[in-house]
Structure 1
Amino acid sequence: MDQVGRRVRDLGIVVGTLPTGAHNAITDVPGVLVGHTTVDDGADLHTGVTAVVPGHLGPGRWTLPAAVYTGNGHGKLVGSTQVDEFGVLESPVVLTATLSVFRAADALLGYLMDRRPEGLSFNPLVGETNDGYLSDIRRRPVTRAHVLAALTGASDGPPEEGCVGAGAGTTALGFKAGIGTSSRTVRMAGRSATVGALVQSNFGGTLTVLGVPLPVEELVPDADRTAPPGNSCMIVVATDVPLDARQLGRVARRAIFAMARVGASFSSTSGDYAIAFGTSQEAPIPDSEIDPVFAAVLDTVEEALLNSLFTAVTTTGVRGRTSHAVPHRSVLERLSAAGRAPAVRAG
């Protein structure tokens, strides 16, 4: 029987020492919501939409401080240049498949226009990764209705992870991947604040957990060797730490750096992007106090990336191609042998 997807903490794998938020998810940042629409016919289509919705955007506050960092630009992040230019986010962040990104952007534009009937210009922000190994990407099955369902169905509860939404058909580090999320709490100026991340994993390299390399050819000897080396990663970071756009750019860079911890190869054909936005209306903290935020971002993104893999399940898609889930038991045995994790029974 195929294993059930599980978060890495449920398997005894703990990244760093900082405490997590209540859900260990990006939705631990107050006011941040997540919604998914999955398009999966059980055969040739494994794709969808994931929306990160800042509930703070509304009458009286139509922008949030934000930044985008491009680790490698082989991708399509609609709206990113305006975020770079002005340092603000004025829409939810929508993630989908490569050839559906333009339809998703048009749907998000319609959503923004409906909310602001007096507006004359809007900047929808939509990113993607290529799920064409498992899904018939040329059919472009994502519709306006799918995008609106993800946006209007977004909630502040624990988001679904793994083979859901924009992660339904993605692969990473040789294994089935998908959507992952995590969060950390930090002490800032005598009070707690939260850093949360959500990722869409679809990149190449060698899976590395707590510093231990776990090559797919050793864990799954019969894995398909024709699978692509990786086609990108989208990372969304949200925080209620008071930061300005410049500081959020520094946060976004650390989010990309965290990919190295899990073994990313940063290949020439990978589009690796991080979007960071803040929700606080307070004056930004001084740079001299930002190191705890950087530490939280690195740990949060690392765990989100691992969750995106460990919660995914083996999937067979278009042309009978199969992407195998990370075998939990084998990973735990190797980590235990390396003295890096307790021996936890995998279901």
Structure 2
Amino acid sequence: MGIRDIGVRIGHGTPGPFNGITDVQGVRVGHRTLVENRAEVSIRTGVTIIEPRPGIARFEPCFTGCHVLNGNGDATGLEWIRESGLLSTPIAYTNTHSVGVVRDALVAAERTSVGGSQYWCMPVVLETFDGVLNDIWGQHVTAVHVHEAQAQATSGPVAEGSVGGGTGMICHEFKGGIGTSSRRLEPREGGWTVGALVQANYGRREALRVAGYPVGDVLREVPSPFEARQAGVPGMGSIVVTLATDAPLLPHQCEQLARRASIGLARVGGGTEYASGDIFVAFSVGNRGIPPADYSTPGEPLMSLRAVSGDFISPLFVAAAEAVEEAILNALFAADDMEGQGVHVHALGATRLLKALEQVGWRRDAHPAAHRVAD
């Protein structure tokens, strides 16, 4: 159940059938979740895989762009995206100390899949810090977990909340994690789809806004995980975002789309903390036949491409901002309470959120779905 199932509508756009990044044809998502207690440590982590194209077709690159709003984080593969405008591997989300093992596992998987016919690959791995709930120094994510997440990647509904790379994440001092959403443009606007998948692990409680309402102002009495001894400080963490679209965009247009994730983040109350790494990637599956840039086999000197006219790109920007905003709220809404490393993190939850919305002026009588949940 997502945020709109309780009658909270984000923006004016229409989601796709799954309200997820998988509404973009061919995109698949897989998770591997690790929740375990060992002696004196808690394991609350995992890995999430986003495949731009299914099966062997994913070795056909996608035009891609990236944007860093705040660089207090890390990612692999972004320099090659900036240079070439291409994405030729899956994208992975995990925790800060597992970036290396996930990247290496993806390299090994790509080599196996293509039989050594390509010279190299540069996987994109994005991270956020889960060390409040998780024994991050233990580096519990392994190559096996990466391969299991890849094997489980499917289209259709995407599991959200405390799953995959988002298992141990905290957002606005509530339990955070993985969230997704999508927007499908009207035919007069091109009819394309934009989907977002976020790993939300950022933000102060008082900054939280839902559909523009300052609910964080009335949620301060909920205990913060950062009140626990040595559990960090409010606002620390990061958010990583992947945007996908079937609109035929060129690399610089993908970069423009990635920048609009900043708007969705700001609407929820993020994007202003120095201790947060806010890193965004956007890819387009709207062009086919793009040759891989591995230099192993010379291709044709020219290729035919399509691109959205500047007169029609603004609706895509609107869709991206709305999808990111709703994806973050879905991450919050889907997560459950979690304990780890001696810290308890409360979930936002439907009842708590509806009460807070009413306190700041949101009218339940205008939203029938809210009555069904409350009852």
TM-score, normalising length from structure 1?
0.93
Which residue does the alignment assign to 2:166?
167
Indicate the SS of the match to 2:237: coil
Give the Å deviation of 1:48: 0.1
Rounded Cα–Cα distance in structure 2 between residues aligned with 1:323 and 1:178: 12
- Hey, what's the Cα distance between the residues in 1 that align with 2:58 and 2:42? 44
Deviation of residue 63 (structure 1)? Answer: 0.9
Aligned equivalent of 2:263: 257
- Name the count of aligned residue pairs: 341
Q: Which residue of 41, 51, 54 maps to 1:53?
A: 51
- For 2:158 and 2:91, locate their aligned partners in 1 and report how far apart those are by CA, in whole Å: 15
Deviation at 1:332, TM superposition (A): 1.1
How big is the shift at 1:60? 9.3
Contact 1:65 1:245 (C-alpha < 8 Å) held by counterparts: yes
SS of 1:148's partner is helix
In structure 2, runs of 5+ residues without a counterpart are 288-304
Q: In 2, Cα distance between the equivalents of 1:346 and 1:139?
A: 41
The counterpart of 1:242, out of the listed 235, 238, 248, is: 248
SS of corresponding position for 1:215: helix
CA apart distance, 1:204:
1.5
Moved more, 95-104 or 274-283: 274-283
CA gap 1:174/1:217 in 2 versus in 1, 3 angstroms: farther
The 3-state SS of whatever aligns with 1:203 is strand
Structure 2: distance between partners of 1:223 and 1:217: 13
The range that moved more, 70-79 or 209-218, is: 209-218
Q: For 1:231 and 1:217, how far apart are their aligned partners in 2?
A: 22
Q: Answer yes or no: is 1:27 the counterpart of 2:42.
A: no
Compared CA separation, residues 113 and 208, structure 1 to 2 (3 A)? same
Aligned 1:99-248 pairs, distance under 5 A = 99-116=97-114, 117-187=116-186, 191-205=190-204, 206-215=207-216, 218=219, 220-226=221-227, 227-228=232-233, 229-248=235-254
Residue range with higher mean Cα deviation, 274-283 or 140-149: 274-283
Contact kept, 8 Å, 2:70 with 2:276, in 1: the verdict is: yes
**Distance change (3 Å), C-alpha of 1:209 and 1:298:** same
Q: Does structure 1 conserve the Cα–Cα contact (< 8 Å) formed by 2:52 and 2:58?
A: no
Question: What whole-Å deviation, never above 9, does each CA across 1:16-57 have from its counterpart, x for those lacking one?
Answer: 121110100000100000000001115601100000011257
Alpha-carbon distance, 1:112 to partner:
1.1
Work out the CA distance in 2 between the residues paired with 1:340 and 1:294: 29
Distance 1:145 1:54, change over 3 A: same
Moved over 4 A (4+): 188-191
Deviation at 1:327, TM superposition (A): 3.7
2:69·2:271 contact (CA, 8 Å) conserved in 1?
Answer: no
The root-mean-square deviation of aligned C-alpha atoms, in Å, is 1.9
- Distance in 2, matches of 1:188 and 1:274, equals 27
Matches of 1:298 and 1:340, distance apart in 2 = 24
Distance in 2 (CA, whole Å) between partners of 1:308 and 1:59 is 29
The CA distance in 2 between the partners of 1:309 and 1:299, in whole Å, is 16
Q: Which amino acid is 2:318 matched to?
A: A
Conserved 8 A contact 2:215-2:357: no
Query: Which of the residues 257, 271, 276 maps onto 1:270?
Result: 276
Q: C-alpha offsets along residues 149-189 of structure 1, whole Å, 9 cap, x if unaligned?
A: 11121000201000000010000111110100000101356
* 2:318 paired with 1:295: yes
Q: Which amino acid aligns with 2:113?
A: R
The worse-fitting range, judged by mean Cα deviation, of 67-76 and 219-228 is: 219-228
Q: Is the 8 A contact 2:28 2:154 kept in 1?
A: yes
Aligned partner of 1:94 in structure 2 is 92
Residue matched to 2:11: 16
1:255–1:59 Cα change, 3 Å = closer
2:296 maps to what in 1? none
Write the distance in 2 (CA, Å) between the matches of 1:149 and 1:242.
31
Find 2:358's aligned residue among 333, 336, 339.
336
CA offsets 1:294-320 (integer angstroms, 9 cap, x no match): 1101110000000010100110001x1
Post-superposition CA distance 1:320-340 (Å, at most 9, x none): 101110142232123235135
Corresponding residue SS for 2:185:
strand
CA change 1:208–1:233 in 2 (3 A) is same
Report if the CA contact (8 A) 1:175-1:216 is conserved: no
Q: Any conservation in 2 of the 1:57–1:91 contact (CA below 8 Å)?
A: no
Contact 1:210 1:340 in 2 (8 A): no
Q: Which residues of structure 1 form unaligned runs of 5+?
A: 1-5
How far is 1:265 from its partner? 4.6
The letter for the 2-side match of 1:186 is L
Q: 1:313 to 1:68 in 2, by over 3 A?
A: same
Give the number of the structure whose alpha-carbon radius of gyration is greater: 2
The correspondence for 2:74, drawn from 61, 73, 76, is 76
Residue in 1 that maps onto 2:291: none
Of 73-82 and 52-61, more deviation after overlay is shown by 52-61
Q: Give the aligned residue type for 2:213.
A: V
Structure 2 SS opposite 1:247: helix
Instruction: Name the aligned partner's letter for residue 329 of structure 1.
Output: T
AA partner of residue 301 (structure 1): V
